[in-house]
Amino acid sequence: MSKIISVHSFRGGTGKSNTTANVATLLAAEGLKVGVIDTDIQSPGIHVLFGLEEQDMKHSLNDYLWGKCEIKDTAHDVTKNLGKGIKGQVLVIPKGQVFLIPSSIKVGEIARVLREGYDVGLLNDGFHRLVEDLKLDVLMIDTHPGLNEETLLSIAISDALIIIMRPDQQDYQGTGVTVEVARKLDVPKLLMVVNKTPAVFDFNEVKKRVEQTYNATVAAVLPHSDEMMTLASAGIFVLNYPDHPITEQLKQVVKLLMS
């Protein structure tokens, strides 16, 4: 089983945060204790999917990086939040647990990180200490698009990296950069996920093309979905749509991560 899993894409808006949140939930459904850390300090967002409101964020990753608290103090158990369906229905809560380490959404705190930066080494210590302190089975790292210091660090320490791309010419080129970096950093397991594939595309062709272009395993080719757009990050897709083809494919990703 991969202990640290990073989810990355070269370009923005590919579906990293949704994929991270859904894969984490599926891992928790297997009974695992899963941590999810939002390293997208410039533009955090994954807390929305887990229903964590700003006023309920006791501490954020920013507080830890500025020495205001221990990393474990930034972890929020969001497992219960997963039970609230978008249509008001009660959903099956995973057997395991999901802990979220959010980044601050306060304007001043985001601006401070951009202005002053922080010690990236602390992030590395924080990842490992989180796994130890919370006795996590898995830590998933949601990242900012493109390459920056925290992304390189997260790729370097990961047992598995999920690279997400859309079947778009800009994504094809940019993704090559990330794949090359992952290979240079010797990531043990590299999985590609193609997301937002238009229904008119031949999905097998897309899979073949991506596999041939990057010489890497394509774990899933996900369709562009009206249900996902309508959910609009208000919840966890796999719990709200347990029988949807996207859920089936994400389970396949989980299987590959657990093997």
Instruction: Give me the residues that bind ligand ATP (CB under 6 A), please.
Output: 9, 12-18, 40, 43, 45, 145, 195-196, 222, 224-225, 228-229, 232-233
Q: By the 8 A CB rule, do 246 and 196 touch?
A: no
Q: Which is nearer to ligand ATP, 16 or 76 (CB)?
A: 16
Which candidate, 78, 44, 79, places its Cα nearest to that of 60?
44
Q: Which is nearer to ligand ATP, 33 or 166 (CB)?
A: 166
Interface of this chain with Mg ion, residues 32 to 91, rule: CB under 5 A: 45
Could you say which DSSP state residue 11 is in?
A: S
DSSP string, 208-234: HHHHHHHTSEEEEEEEP-HHHHHHTTS
Contacted by 199, from ligand ATP, Mg ion, none: CB < 5 to 8 Å by type: none
Is residue 253 helix, strand or coil? helix
Q: Which is nearer to Mg ion, 25 or 93 (CB)?
A: 25
Contacted by 63, from Mg ion, ligand ATP, none: CB < 5 to 8 Å by type: none
Interface of this chain with Mg ion, residues 9 to 38, rule: CB under 5 A: 16-17
State the nearest-atom distance from the C-beta of 221 to ligand ATP, in Å: 10
Q: Which is nearer to ligand ATP, 104 or 225 (CB)?
A: 225
State the nearest-atom distance from the C-beta of 72 to ligand ATP, in Å: 25
Contacted by 8, from ligand ATP, Mg ion, none: CB < 5 to 8 Å by type: none
Q: Which is nearer to ligand ATP, 103 or 158 (CB)?
A: 103
State the nearest-atom distance from the C-beta of 94 to ligand ATP, in Å: 19
State the nearest-atom distance from the C-beta of 159 to ligand ATP, in Å: 21
Which candidate, 4, 17, 30, places its Cα nearest to that of 129?
4
Contacted by 222, from Mg ion, ligand ATP, none: CB < 5 to 8 Å by type: ligand ATP
Report the 10 Å Cβ neighbour count for 248: 12
CA atoms within 13 A on the CB side of 55: 0
State the nearest-atom distance from the C-beta of 89 to Mg ion, in Å: 26
Q: Which amino acid is at 254?
A: V
State the nearest-atom distance from the C-beta of 253 to ligand ATP, in Å: 13
Q: Which is nearer to Mg ion, 150 or 207 (CB)?
A: 150
Which residues, 6 or more positions from 191, have their beta carbon under 8 angstroms from its beta carbon? 160, 161, 162, 163, 216, 217, 218, 219, 253, 256, 257
Contacted by 195, from ligand ATP, Mg ion, none: CB < 5 to 8 Å by type: ligand ATP
Q: Which is nearer to Mg ion, 8 or 76 (CB)?
A: 8
Cα 258 from chain centroid (whole Å): 16
Q: Kindly list the distances between the CA atom of residue 204 and the CA atoms of 18, 62, 221, 222, 251, in Å, as whole numbers in the listed order.
A: 23, 42, 8, 11, 18
The dihedrals phi and psi of 32, each to the nearest 5 degrees, come to: -85, 155
* Edge-to-edge strand ranges of the sheet holding 189-197: 76-77, 97-101, 33-38, 138-142, 4-8, 160-165, 189-197, 217-223
Q: List interacting residues with Mg ion (CB under 5 A).
A: 16-17, 45
